[in-house]
Chains A and B, each alone.
Chain A
Amino acid sequence: MVSKKSSINKKCIDYGSLRVGAIISDRKHVVNINTVKSYIAAVKDMSAGFFLLNPPYCIPPMAISALSIRGAIHDLSIPGGTVHLSQEITYYESVQVDDELSCLAYLKSNNVRNEWRFLNISLEVRKSTRLIMTGKSTIMLPSP
């Protein structure tokens, strides 16, 4: 996978200072065939190979979701022990190998309950200007 344009990449993030609406990741990726094959092997997706190797040669949609979440995970430098609570995803178009994708993640909410911080992150993936996927991830971080 070729990645271009990283956004915030702080080593030590004060999660309490993150404001709703803040862009936490803005990256471009070109997903190559080897990356897709590694993903399919790791999730043991028995149907994905067919769609990848036959017209219209589509990438498994969850690989796109994983890619968009990857940007948020990296650019937020999330701490060990963070737990994924819920996920919403909508796909609008299929994606092919070597398509260039823009993955944007921004903060929807930021709350602390008990010992945990809850971040709600909105995800958008575009191919050129066309919307490919939207999503919403809720993660729970150990709160300092």
Chain B
Amino acid sequence: MNEYVELKSVIKTIDLDLIHDYAKASGDYNPIHIDKEFGENSQFKNNIAHGMMVAASISEFMALNFGLDWYKSGTMKIKFKEPVFPNDTIITSGTITKTTIIKKQEQIACKVTVTNQNGVIAISGDTSIFKNKNESGMNKP
């Protein structure tokens, strides 16, 4: 694959119902996510989406662009820079930055960001996959 290629983006709106659904699915009931009063008294002045809920859009983005290779060999290194609030629309996008051959397999590295509707970066980071990876554990330590 060519470097500096813009990949297909993922766009979605995160509302309070989804945040509650994620709390239930993940078992993370931190009141900063689901308790209105707690959120309003926090440093964010509102409830915020779970970081891993927002990061799931990066996983979806990588699966959309690289399929099962993401499931079998994906790596992700991300920073949560700004919170995502209820009713924010997030856009997950990224670019291929480097392709490398390691032990005869092609590794594709990407820069990814999740931004909100105002262009504020909520998450930034790096991801990678091995193309056509078998189950032998190419990147196992």
Q: Which residues of A contact B (CB under 8 A)?
A: 35, 38-39, 41-48, 51, 56, 58, 60-62, 65-66, 69-70, 73-74, 78, 80-94, 130-131, 134
State how many angstroms separate the Cβ of B70 from the closest Cβ of chain A: 7
Question: Which of A44, A51, A65, A86: most chain B Cβ within 10 A?
Answer: A44
A81 to B10, CA, bound (A): 29
Q: Does B94 sit at the interface, judged by CB under 8 A?
A: no
Q: Are A47 and B76 interface neighbours, CB within 8 A?
A: no
1/0 contact string of B1-44 vs chain A (CB within 8 Å): 00000000010100000100110111110111001001000100
State how many angstroms separate the Cβ of B17 from the closest Cβ of chain A: 9
Q: Are B25 and A92 interface neighbours, CB within 8 A?
A: no
Q: Are B60 and A70 interface neighbours, CB within 8 A?
A: no
A45 to B55, CA, bound (A): 11
Q: Contacting B78 at CB < 8 Å: which of A41, A45, A87?
A: A87
Contacts of A56 in B (CB 8 A): 68
1/0 contact string of B68-100 vs chain A (CB within 8 Å): 101111111111100000000000000000000
Contacts of B75 in A (CB 8 A): 88-91
Q: Does B132 sit at the interface, judged by CB under 8 A?
A: no
Given A89-B76, A91-B75, 7 more A-B residue pairs with CB atoms under 8 Å apart are A45-B63, A48-B60, A60-B59, A74-B27, A87-B80, A88-B77, A131-B137
A74 to B23, CA, bound (A): 13
Q: Are B12 and A38 interface neighbours, CB within 8 A?
A: no
What are 17 residue pairs bridging A and B, where the CB atoms are less than 8 Å apart in the complex?
A38-B24, A41-B21, A42-B21, A44-B12, A44-B18, A60-B71, A62-B55, A62-B59, A69-B26, A81-B38, A82-B30, A82-B32, A83-B32, A84-B50, A86-B79, A87-B77, A88-B77
Q: Does B64 sit at the interface, judged by CB under 8 A?
A: yes
Size band of the interface chain B makes with A: 35 or more
Q: Are A92 and B53 interface neighbours, CB within 8 A?
A: no
Q: Which residues of B contact A (CB under 8 A)?
A: 10, 12, 18, 21-22, 24-28, 30-32, 35, 38, 42, 50-53, 55-57, 59-60, 63-64, 67-68, 70-80, 135, 137, 139-141
Q: Contacting B73 at CB < 8 Å: which of A39, A51, A92?
A: A92
Contacts of B42 in A (CB 8 A): 81
Q: A38-B24, A70-B27, A87-B55 are in contact. Are A47 and B60 (CB under 8 A)?
A: yes
A35 to B24, CA, bound (A): 10
Contacts of A38 in B (CB 8 A): 21, 24-25
Q: Are A70 and B57 interface neighbours, CB within 8 A?
A: no
Q: Name the residue on A nearest B61 (C-beta).
A: A47
State how many angstroms separate the Cβ of A18 from the closest Cβ of chain B: 19
